[in-house]
A = this chain, B = another copy of it.
């Protein structure tokens, strides 16, 4: 193991090399490719990772399209991307737990570790959290630097292609495990990328029966292939009565993955009294919501889901992957070299692809 020659008393290491990356180069649509971005320096508590494979997230699409959210949050010039796998290439002088050469991914939420949530196992919702690829440079690059605390070593039996998407898979796992699906009936409203992952995760985690809704028929078909007991086109609300009849007057668990107010409304109608709803999908704006019918008279529990737990979710995910029960191959539809990023984004945005990867090695 070799350490970089950082000298902490004089600030970040100067580093002569350059690298490829995708940056949000201007306040508008698209990303720009560069092959001569400076390789980032390693602080004393950081590791620098040589990135091998990255995933394109729905968030990256928002950044690409430069919607209202992106325009309000993303600093122009930032390197985007937060789903990846790679190898540690350099470590800071005060790093104690990792060595050069380890295959790793990293949690994208960075927190100083002094906030209440950060110190009690909920760093993903700490108030001082920033996210790489959003608030600071991310992984669509040959190198990314992250604090030692954020590193996740990859188990030898987990292939790169799954290791590259632990971040979104973690969203699905956190949602499923927070609600608790073991021996329960589950409704997943919205089978986009995370919703489809939630189908296979819920099945592996012991759900007894899984129902899905969406307005995209091919995705509904795929949901059935991945383990859904039944899948319904949400535009015909007749499915609600069918599901209520096949269950204890409603499903035990609702996993809301769409953010669509109509889906939320239907989902809560299909939830039994005393059931649990985990909300991951972000509505585009405020929702006109019937608290009495959907939550209070029902006596139900609603969980807000954000990111993934550090590190409970990551261990659960490792267990699920090692169990051999997760079916991810039909969700990862395309891989492109990083240089073909425009094709990669187009494939993802058109809906032709589901999870689209880009390779740097």
Interface residues of A (CB under 8 A from B): 7-9, 44-45, 92-94, 96-97, 112-117, 119-122, 124-127, 149, 173, 177, 180-185, 204-209, 248-249, 272-274, 279-280, 282-283, 286-292, 294-307, 310-312, 314-316, 319-320, 322-323, 325
Determine the distance from Cα of A8 to Cα of B7 in the docked complex, in whole angstroms: 8
With A122-B299, A273-B117, A298-B304 known as contacts, the answer to whether A289 contacts B292 (CB < 8 A) is: no
Cβ–Cβ contact A44 & B8, under 8 A: yes
Cβ–Cβ contact B286 & A289, under 8 A: yes
Main SS of the interface on chain A? Answer: loop
Apart from A208-B322, A209-B322: 5 A-B pairs, beta carbons within 8 A: A127-B273, A182-B206, A279-B296, A283-B292, A286-B290
With A8-B44, A9-B7, A289-B286 known as contacts, the answer to whether A117 contacts B274 (CB < 8 A) is: yes
**Residue in B274, B287, B319 whose beta carbon sits within 8 Å of that of A125 in the complex:** B274
Cβ–Cβ contact B125 & A311, under 8 A: no
Cβ–Cβ contact B296 & A282, under 8 A: yes
With A296-B304, A301-B301 known as contacts, the answer to whether A116 contacts B315 (CB < 8 A) is: yes
Q: For residue A186, give the distance in angstroms from its CB to the closest CB of chain B.
A: 11
In the complex, the 5 A-B pairs of residues with the closest C-beta atoms, listed nearest first: A206-B206, A121-B121, A116-B248, A295-B304, A208-B319
